[in-house]
Chain A
Amino acid sequence: MKTTPRNYAKALAALLKTQPVTAELVQNFVKILRKSHQEKMLNRIVNIAEQILIEENGEIKVDVISASEMTEKNIADLGKMIESATNLKPLISYKVDKGLKGGVKLRVKDYMIDASVSGKIEMMKRSFES
């Protein structure tokens, strides 16, 4: 039976909890993937493993897309808001997208919370069309 990327990721996450990332570990892991012709899945496996480790550490990854530069205070306030809502420590990464016109978009796992001006204009457009 073919091993799925999630299974590889679980194994990798379990390994990384007990030992540090070394060149030998990475080399052996890639060898295993190459043996089962799944080296193309490496990126996906690493992403899933990262997700697993983050969840096990009681953390949550949050991607913030903002229309303008955010100050450290803004980020900290946002982090507190997310922590109080989820009871998980947020790992915030953010980027600026002027196309949003204003407001922010938050990507948390499989959800996108759209509080941007461009999103609201789009909603308004759809509301008029319907």
Chain B
Amino acid sequence: MSESSSNIIGLLKKQLLDFKTQASTEEVGTVIEAGDGVVRATGLSNAKSAELLEFQNGTLGWALNLEEDTVGAVILGESEGIKEGDTVKSTGRILSVPVGDQLIGRVVNALGQALDGKGAIQSDKYYPVEKIAPGVMFRKSVDRPVQTGLRAIDAMIPIGRGQRELIIGDRQTGKTAIAVDAIINQKGEDMICIYVAIGQKESKIAKIVTELEKHGSMDYTIIVMAGASHPASLQFLAPYSGCAMAEYFLDKGKDVLIVYDDLSKHANSYRQISLLLKRPPGREAFPGDIFYLHSRLLERACCIDKQFGGGSITALPVIETQAGDLSAYIPTNVISITDGQIFLEADLFYKGIRPAINVGLSVSRVGSAAQIKAMKKIAGKMRLELAQYRELAVFAQFGSDLDAGTKKQLDRGARLTEILKQGQYVTTPVEMQVAIIYAVTTGLTDDVTVDEIQKFMEEMFKYLKTSHSKVMTELKEKKELIPEVESALKHAIEDFKIVNKKS
């Protein structure tokens, strides 16, 4: 017999000898009502709020309603196999999910169980799904950017590490596309990404996973899935599980980007559970604590001070509006919680402006604190020019005789609008964004027509990457448009214009 197998046998013998055979005592109750994913049980007189319960068939439940004689619990899984008269026991534990590096690259459900067929998740560390957000003294202000790779966002609605930026818009306006592009652009940025899919079609999630794998993004991404076919309890739990997984990395001083797609479906699942638990319905039949549902989740996104370990969790919650109504109940709740919103409009989408961001209604409350100095220098001018363009464009529709200055401004604005259009899964590094915005705002592209500016931009990116890589590397490292870098960049763009004209 080999040494390793005799060691194993020795360990097993020791465990058997150490095993205590006294009777166990458990607190139990009896199921009196079961159905629609919720259960009512009598007994369990010492059950605590949010305690984990275990049913006779091994399914877990979550005690949410503690009443005089009964406990209302949601079933964390399928409700088949749970019937009236079954015994349910208290576990004495709060709900926790497995966390750790082994989750990276995996698709898991809201309980941290693998769904991708690549084997069970083995973890010795568990984090509670419900946790109080870090206090004021542990936090620091947001001062480092999250580069989404989307020119419109990085220039005008910049997101910082530790910020909560809402992505809001009607259906099919590109909300998920923005979130996925942001994840793709985190390659090489030392960021762990978590995509929490709540109530989404599983075909859509499969497509997202495929795209992320294609771009190599699954090497740093975790997908937490509670699809449309999953019970409401798992859809309700999913964002908190994702946040718990993010907090593991935060505690190690790492930066995390977490996307909650989407919180409208999350609110709907909580409404369903609350109504089934017979909690009193409020406005739009949502329970009274619907605001707290989202506020306690989003407050866990933070930027931690270096003396407490550093690290950050940046949250990108997604909300779907109906007919562009920003004043509805759930949208207004989440807008008031987050540090800004990116508002997507269907009209802009159909006009071909994609991403369909309404710059006027979108805001980032962190602002230029989340931008590199180079971008801060040029983005302010761009924002102003775009605002002037929008005003002038309205008058230009009626007037036919425009002076040269107005025409020039209109053309400049049209060019800026064109360069902000971007294809899906095509992200732009920040140094290239600085280059093109600099080129347009300083008039270097005034001789390029609006129709040709997109092609000009693509060719310029290729040229700068190959022929002036040193300038771009310097810009990327220094993150500032100091005079030498600015003149080198100007020179590079002028060189490109000459080459472009010849070809």
Contacts and interface: CB of A to CB of B under 8 A. Distances in A.
A30 B293 CA distance: 41
Interface in B25-69: 25-29, 32, 42-46, 68-69
A4 interface: yes
A107 interface: yes
Interface stretch (B16-24, B323-331, B349-357): B16-24
A113 B25 contact: yes
Interface string A98-130: 000000000101111111000110011001100
Contacts of A107: 28
A6 B70 CA distance: 10
B24 A124 contact: no
A64 interface: no
B90 to A, nearest CB: 9
Contacts of B19: 123-124, 127
A113 B43 CA distance: 15
Nearest to A107: B28
Given A127-B15, A128-B15, A110 B69 contact: no
A31 interface: no
Contacts of A120: 21
Nearest to B26: A112
Interface residues of B, number: 21
Contacts of B24: 113-114, 119, 123
B200 interface: no
Contacts of A5: 69
B427 interface: no
Contacts of B16: 124
A124 B15 CA distance: 9
B87 interface: yes
A5 B68 CA distance: 9
Secondary structure of the A contact surface, majority rule: helix
B29 A110 contact: yes
B294 interface: no
Nearest to B47: A110
A9 B19 CA distance: 45
Contacts of B28: 107, 110-112
B414 to A, nearest CB: 65
Contact of A110 (B21, B23, B32, B45): B45
B15 A48 contact: no
Interface residues of A, number: 20
Interface string A8-31: 000000000000000000000000
A34 interface: no
Interface in B357-394: none
A44 B89 contact: no
A96 B42 CA distance: 23
Contacts of B43: 109-110
A43 B42 CA distance: 12
Interface in A41-61: 44, 47-48
Contacts of B25: 111-114
Nearest to B67: A4
Contacts of B32: 44
A103 to B, nearest CB: 8
Interface in B68-124: 68-69, 87, 89
A124 B19 CA distance: 7
A63 B119 CA distance: 42
Nearest to B84: A43
Contacts of A128: 15
Contacts of A115: 23
B15 A110 contact: no
B205 to A, nearest CB: 30
Contact of B68 (A6, A110, A113): A6
Nearest to A116: B23
A124 B26 CA distance: 16
B53 to A, nearest CB: 13
Contacts of A109: 43
B84 to A, nearest CB: 10
Nearest to A103: B23
Contacts of B23: 113-115, 119
Interface in B126-154: none
Contact of A6 (B15, B45, B69, B89): B69
A100 B69 CA distance: 30
Nearest to B22: A115
B27 A44 contact: no
A69 B32 CA distance: 29
16 contacts: A4-B69, A44-B32, A110-B27, A110-B43, A110-B44, A111-B26, A111-B28, A112-B89, A113-B23, A114-B23, A114-B24, A114-B25, A119-B24, A123-B24, A124-B16, A127-B19
Given A114-B25, A115-B23, 8 more contacts: A6-B68, A6-B69, A110-B28, A110-B45, A112-B89, A113-B24, A113-B25, A114-B26
Interface of A: 4-6, 44, 47-48, 107, 109-115, 119-120, 123-124, 127-128
Interface of B: 15-16, 19, 21, 23-29, 32, 42-46, 68-69, 87, 89
Question: Would you list the 3 A-B pairs with minimal beta carbon distance, nearest first?
Answer: A115-B23, A110-B43, A112-B28
